[in-house]
Homo-oligomer: A and B are copies of this chain.
Amino acid sequence: MFSKACEYGIKASIFIAINSYNDNRVSPKEISAEINSPQAFTAKILQALVKHNIVNSVKGAYGGFEINKEDIAKIKLSQIVTAIDGDQLLHGCGLGFKVCDEEHPCSLHDQFVFIRNDLRNMLENTTLELLAKDIKSGVSFLKL
């Protein structure tokens, strides 16, 4: 479904969000330890999230990654997925055609569009705030 990079990106964003609520910046080292991911690879993914203005980075001593507190509730999972994996999953044809075309549908189109639209709606209606709350309350987990 999602690439490894995207899985790490989602988990990393949640962890950064949780820490940002406490005005605490985190490093790739802390992040990868928390979400159980390779550190250098995770750092690369963070660069992509920074470029897409999802995560903010502060260089130098006492720096690290953070997310503006007031943005956490506005950031949708769809933004993270699109930033890392592109928009093929959210808009592409299920059987690999260049575009999903209603006028020239693939064999699976009628069945696939419902699934894809439900997935897209889920990703667009799920915010970092929502996911971070579940972690903080102990309902869900970032590793193991």
B95 touches A139 (CB 8 A): no
8 A-B residue pairings within 8 Å (CB atoms)? A1-B89, A1-B92, A2-B95, A7-B95, A7-B96, A10-B108, A14-B107, A114-B118
How many copies are assembled? 2
Q: How does the 8 Å CB contact mask read for A93-107 relative to B, with 1 for contact and 0 for none?
A: 011110000001111
Closest-CB distance, A66 to chain B (whole angstroms): 19
A residues whose Cβ falls under 8 Å from a Cβ of B: 1-2, 4, 7, 10-11, 14, 77, 89, 92, 94-97, 104-112, 114-116, 118-119, 122, 126, 131, 134-135, 139-142, 144
| Given A109-B140, A131-B107, A140-B105, A2 contacting B94 (CB threshold 8 A) | yes
Which B residue sits closest to A130, measured CB to CB? B111
A96 touches B131 (CB 8 A): no
A126 touches B108 (CB 8 A): yes
Closest-CB distance, A84 to chain B (whole angstroms): 13
Contact partners of A107 in chain B: CB under 8 A: 10-11, 14, 131, 134-135, 140-142
| Given A95-B11, A105-B140, A108-B10, A122 contacting B118 (CB threshold 8 A) | no
Q: A10-B107, A104-B141, A106-B141 are in contact. List 19 more A-B contacts (CB 8 A).
A: A1-B89, A1-B92, A1-B116, A2-B94, A2-B95, A7-B95, A10-B108, A11-B95, A11-B107, A14-B107, A105-B139, A106-B142, A108-B131, A108-B140, A111-B122, A112-B122, A114-B118, A114-B122, A115-B115
